Structure 1
Amino acid sequence: MRLIVCSNSAPRWQDGAGLLPRSPGGLVPLLATLLGRHGGDWVCTMPVGAGPDDPSGDGSVEVTGLPGGVTLHRLRLPRATVDRHYETIGVRLLLWLFHYLLDTARQPEGRLAEAWAGYEAVNRAYADRVAALMTGAPDEFVLVNDHHLFLVPEMLGRRARRHGRIAFFQGLPWCEPDYFGVLPAHIRDRILTGLLHADVIGFHCTRWARAFLGCCARFLPGCAVDDRGVTYGGRRTRVTVAPFPLDVATVDRLRGEPATARWRARLEREAGGRRVIARADRIDLWKNLPRGFAAYRSVLEREPGLAGAWWFCAVATPPGRPTERTRELQRECEDLVADINERFGAPGRPAVSMIYPDLPTTRNCVVAALSGADLVLVNPTFDGMNLVAKEALYLGERARLLLSVNAGAYEQLADHVTPVHPFDVEATASVMRDAMTSGAAPADRAAARRLLREQDANRWLDRMMGVQR
């Protein structure tokens, strides 16, 4: 098999060592694992520099050969084009759309033509590069990833002579047709028709796949939709569910690293003998941190004595590109934490702490927090999957996992978690209080670990390729 992958996100590598996974799951580590095993090409965007003379926007491609037959192709794109593609369309339109975060009284904004032209230009640059790499071999598999590159399948279908397959994977949720319909019609329809030039489209869970199928049925006259895919314009596109696996070998390695031991010792000191509620999130709008803190405050208002027996440890990391909304979210979280500690904390013993780990040891801090927890809260409003939920199940020896029913991982993990309805603070507080006071043992952790170990990158790729095992 010849593998060509493309993603807006760029990998890290080390001379002589090849690609370096950043974490035990997610898009970049998955692609790094697949290319490390199969070899192939990875097309991504060159990070844009900060200076006005930054050369990254000259339209060229930086090609780097790595061990294992892997070649990186980093596109040097104009800064203004990248900003329109990533910030205006990628974040402020599509990221917020798929997480139900648009203020529909004001958004989408009316002036999107220039930004959408930038989005198309970036997709065209990717399609040009991938088309140049394609050989037309029957075993060629092109894997296009995430909302940054919705138009690439169509652009490839029109340019490349091919006999292999083109796949697209959507790592975000997919919203229901009524909400998807807030997009301008020309953007809405272009996204759908662009994707339907792929041979297969993958999602983390059945719910997101069905929402996509519903959008096709609603907005594309003449398309035929069934549970397995879409037929449109004489083409058949298979739709599949392929949740990202947890790389348990990476988790085990992180668990044994000295940096994890240092974080574990620090967190144990801060816990001071108390039992631990843990959460680990980027400061993203859909991660729903404020409602988690508000639910904990509600628990303590009912039973103040629990503040002396429990410590809420919230590991927080910055979003990929902050906006005014994420900065406001961080201030709101810190104000909530300050209020809880003023009311229920004691000198040197806060009831809740936001932990901001340094970037090099972020994953070590997360592993330390989850492995030492007695209770883990994962309550996103909507989430494509949620890696932390899988990490918590794999690492936790005694912790119950409270998991949002709107996390993509919930479908796969439902038998091993306690469900949380993320918009209902009082319901979340009730579930949290029950978990803190009941003393009930968590669900069968051995079965959960067995489920997680059975999943790996190759099985995920088989699902995308339609290979039955």
Structure 2
Amino acid sequence: MSETATGVSVKGANQTGGAAGNNSFVVVANRLPVDMITEADGTKTWQASPGGLVSALSPVLEKHQGCWVGWPGVADESPEPFRTERGVLLHPVELTQYDYEEFYEGFSNATLWPLYHNLIVTPEFNRSWWDAYRDVNLRFATEVASVAAHGATVWVQDYQLQLVPGILRQLRPDLTIGFFLHIPFPPPEIYRQLPWRDEMLRGLMDADLIGFHLVSNVRNFVELCRSYDFEISGDITIREAGITITTPSGHKLGVGAFPISIDTSAMATPTASGSHEEADEALEQMHLDMGSPSTVFLGVDRLDYTKGILQRLLAFEELLDSGALDPADVALVQLATPSRERIDSYRITRSNVEEAVGRINGRFAQIGRPVVHYQHRSVSKDVLMRYYRLADIMLVTPFRDGMNLVAKEFVATRADSSGALVLSEFAGAADELTQAHLCNPFDIEDTKKAMLQAAWGLKDNPEMMKERMASMYNQVMEHDVDLWASAFLSALDKARA
């Protein structure tokens, strides 16, 4: 296959120099950073996929010219390894439709996801899902073992692949293995509900370094390990492996907090294509199309029950109902990316959100001018950047979130210190973006208060608001994805040594 219009260069493995045993740096994640697109004539092409993990890891792989092992996103498809135009080798792992349903929709997202997000919905414990999870993790580990050079560094990503470090250690003891969890790690009393808790923990303990976003996640993990009588020494640190755990076999691994961030250089220009003037004109037209509201609230989320989308809509509705916000003067834009739509809890979430959008517009909108602008589909990076710049107030109100890179992306577009951020205290980003208007998303009154504080602050105390945004902007720009990756990989080298 040749280079496509999406900018991803697709080549056969032989043309790239081969995939087997030739890569000194390997990232393994559930998904490859591309989506397969099938054209009307049956031609298959690739385009870069959105998402926090992709935006965080792509620059790291490009820098190391490494190999990314993952599923291409289409069941029963097994394309040959190929390279992106930036030189990253993508090595696909085939998953069947059964694997997708049992391993991904089942164990990963109906068992582990709700368990690790503090039981926002009840996890399901299904033995056939667990069998599929073990099988798929073995498959991923086997593929990594086949592409990694002797002594290579392997960086395993996230909750879908927690057994990979243990399997990989058996297959390839020469490898240096790091594991990073991109979602929260729950308190031990919640984790212990998992029927396969011992096997899952053993899968992690053969890594050389385990990284989490937050100190609180490390604390939960260390407390769990104490109950297993592992030898634990050191103190919890940020961007270092301050904790050392020694297993009964004598294996030592480091544990630390490594807050993930964004590629700030990608946020530095108004749009990836076109001039500043064209970007300004596009923004002006978007604002005009919305009826030129004086205050634009923005939410950008996967349509997931952890994100608190419904609750922020209810808070907005009550502010309109009470007269605290004038429906003729404000608008809320909610971009909701489709997510895991075959899982019941996600279907219910979508139904409730879309019902609320319709009700709010029915009550407060004028003909031709909705007060809530809702879109349930993905948007391009260019369009997303425009929405970030269009917004006066960003709403990031998840019930629980490992970090939330949307909050950091919004702040990174604010070089002029404009705007405000309403942020859940239960998002990992709240540990760093302390000048945001923090709220408890479980408390609609508290969410309303934060939204009003942001709106009134922009109107009545603009200088103070600029200081708050400038502080967050500096924090994000100084602690970018390169710092996250370099800190983790440096700590991994030390832990293995």
Give your verdict on TM over 0.5: yes
Match of 1:160 in 2: 172
Q: How does 1:259-298 map to 2 (within 5 A)?
A: 262=282, 265-298=285-318
- SS at 1:246's partner residue? coil
Alpha-carbon contact 1:377-1:402 (below 8 Å) kept: yes
In structure 1, runs of 5+ residues without a counterpart are none
Alpha-carbon contact 1:204-1:409 (below 8 Å) kept: no
Say if 2:222 is the partner of 1:224. no
Cα deviation for residue 225 of structure 1 reads: 6.0
Per the normalisation by structure 1, the TM-score is 0.86
Q: What is the one-letter code of the residue matched to 2:193?
A: V
Cα deviation for residue 338 of structure 1 reads: 2.3
- In structure 2, distance between residues paired with 1:336 and 1:125: 43
Of 397, 420, 435, which residue of structure 1 is paired with 2:454? 435
- SS at 1:422's partner residue? coil
Cα deviation for residue 97 of structure 1 reads: 1.3
- In structure 1, distance between residues paired with 2:77 and 2:271: 40
- In structure 2, distance between residues paired with 1:365 and 1:346: 25
In structure 2, runs of 5+ residues without a counterpart are 1-22, 37-45, 237-241
Q: What is the one-letter code of the residue matched to 1:428?
A: T
Match of 1:255 in 2: 271
Q: How does 1:189-204 map to 2 (within 5 A)?
A: 189-204=198-213
Cα deviation for residue 368 of structure 1 reads: 1.7
Q: What is the one-letter code of the residue matched to 1:436?
A: A
The superposition leaves residues 124-155 of structure 1 with CA deviations (integer Å, 9 ceiling, x where unpaired) of 11111222233333xx3110001111001101
Of 390, 399, 402, which residue of structure 1 is paired with 2:422? 402
Alpha-carbon contact 2:35-2:73 (below 8 Å) kept: no
- In structure 2, distance between residues paired with 1:196 and 1:116: 19
Match of 2:110 in 1: 92
Cα deviation for residue 316 of structure 1 reads: 1.7
- In structure 1, distance between residues paired with 2:480 and 2:139: 31
Alpha-carbon contact 1:264-1:365 (below 8 Å) kept: no
- SS at 1:307's partner residue? coil
Match of 2:182 in 1: 171
- SS at 2:461's partner residue? coil
- In structure 2, distance between residues paired with 1:286 and 1:133: 36
Aligned length: 442
Match of 1:31 in 2: 57
- SS at 2:82's partner residue? strand
The superposition leaves residues 200-238 of structure 1 with CA deviations (integer Å, 9 ceiling, x where unpaired) of 1111222222222222223x2344365333222222221
Cα deviation for residue 253 of structure 1 reads: 4.5
Cα deviation for residue 44 of structure 1 reads: 0.8
- In structure 1, distance between residues paired with 2:338 and 2:283: 19
- Give % identity: 28
- In structure 1, distance between residues paired with 2:433 and 2:380: 25
The superposition leaves residues 168-224 of structure 1 with CA deviations (integer Å, 9 ceiling, x where unpaired) of 01111111112112211xx11111121111111111222222222222223x23443
Cα deviation for residue 421 of structure 1 reads: 0.9
Cα deviation for residue 281 of structure 1 reads: 1.0
Cα deviation for residue 299 of structure 1 reads: 1.6
Match of 1:145 in 2: 157
- In structure 2, distance between residues paired with 1:100 and 1:364: 34
Match of 2:9 in 1: none
Cα deviation for residue 433 of structure 1 reads: 1.9
Q: What is the one-letter code of the residue matched to 1:239?
A: V
- In structure 1, distance between residues paired with 2:169 and 2:382: 43
Q: How does 1:306-455 map to 2 (within 5 A)?
A: 306-357=326-377, 359=378, 361-396=379-414, 397-414=417-434, 416-438=435-457, 439-441=460-462, 442=465, 443-455=467-479
Cα deviation for residue 392 of structure 1 reads: 1.6
Compute the RMSD of aligned alpha carbons. Answer: 2.7
Q: How does 1:41-80 map to 2 (within 5 A)?
A: 41-49=67-75, 54=76, 56=78, 62-66=80-84, 70-80=88-98
- In structure 2, distance between residues paired with 1:36 and 1:327: 37
Alpha-carbon contact 1:314-1:353 (below 8 Å) kept: yes
Q: Structure 1 pair 432/31, CA: closer, same or farther in 2 (3 Å)?
A: closer
Q: Structure 1 pair 175/298, CA: closer, same or farther in 2 (3 Å)?
A: same
- In structure 1, distance between residues paired with 2:456 and 2:340: 37
- In structure 1, distance between residues paired with 2:233 and 2:191: 17
Q: Structure 1 pair 341/77, CA: closer, same or farther in 2 (3 Å)?
A: closer
- Greater CA drift, 279-288 or 266-275: 266-275
